[in-house]
Amino acid sequence: MAVEPFGGPLEAERAGAAIGRGLLRADPALSVDVCPVERAAGEDVTKLLDALNYDVRMRAARAVVLGAERLDERTLLGSVTFELATRARQAGVPAYAVTSANALSLFDARILDLQVIVRARDVRALRRAGERLAGLV
């Protein structure tokens, strides 16, 4: 699971942990690998993901759950979320997304090959999103 910052007090690690708890509560047999991804301005996405050994981790996964505060066409261009979804699609790994605001068109979501986009704005909703996704992955 790759999680970008949700902003405010809900930083990437906390958001990822909440989604992970939901996944595990719904299906304790799942193996959850939380990968908080925070990119500094100008930092190369490829180098960042290589440092996290992301491709190996992703290919070993049954699915990728992306967490991002906002999904829209403008914010995706050049973002870590876009790169993660693209890599998952190219590797044949199903990708799901959890976001507090989804402004993607159906076409954009299809281009990214996101199976499901779940909206969640707080820790409790993130946990419920994880529970819902556990039944899908």
Nearest to 98 by CA among 117, 113, 84, 79: 117
Question: What contacts 34, CB < 8 A, 6 or more positions away?
Answer: 1, 3, 13, 16, 17, 19, 20
- pLDDT at site 7: 59
* pLDDT per residue as tens digits for the range 40-91: 666 788 888 888 888 998 898 889 998 888 898 876 777 888 888 999 999 9
* pLDDT per residue as tens digits for the range 28-37: 888 887 776 6
Q: What is the pTM of this model?
A: 0.85
Which residue segment(s) compose the domain that 9 sits in? 2-134
The domain total for the chain is: 1
User: What is the CATH number for 57?
Assistant: 3.40.50.10350
pLDDT above 70: residue 133: yes
